[in-house]
Amino acid sequence: MQELAANYLEHFTVELGEYPSIVLDDAAPESLLELDRLIRDTFGPGNLVSVYEALSAAAESELPHCAEVDEKVCPLDIYFFVLDFLGTKAFSAHGGD
């Protein structure tokens, strides 16, 4: 799950400046685009920063379900939604092992 989260992070661009933003690259894998669509459909638009924070926390933590998450940046419901998605994708990628 950590490796998948880290791989997904490579498809984000952090734009600093007067109005900092996070942008999902056009070349992102279909599964990451699917996660973005699911988040928008479930929680509404404008949550890409939360997805980025959730992926960052999951990539950096040995125990992602116990990771500390800045709830001001990423509400816990979005964080655990992302973790569930990652777990599903990571599990299916390993053929059930």
Task: Answer positive or negative: Cα dihedral of 58, 64, 65, 68.
Answer: negative
- Contact between 34 and 82 under an 8 Å Cβ cutoff? The reply is no
Instruction: Kindly give the confidence (pLDDT) of every residue in the chain, 97 residues in length, as a single tens digit, with 9 standing for 90 and above.
Output: 899 999 999 999 999 889 888 999 999 999 999 999 999 999 999 999 999 999 999 999 999 999 999 999 999 999 999 999 999 988 775 554 4
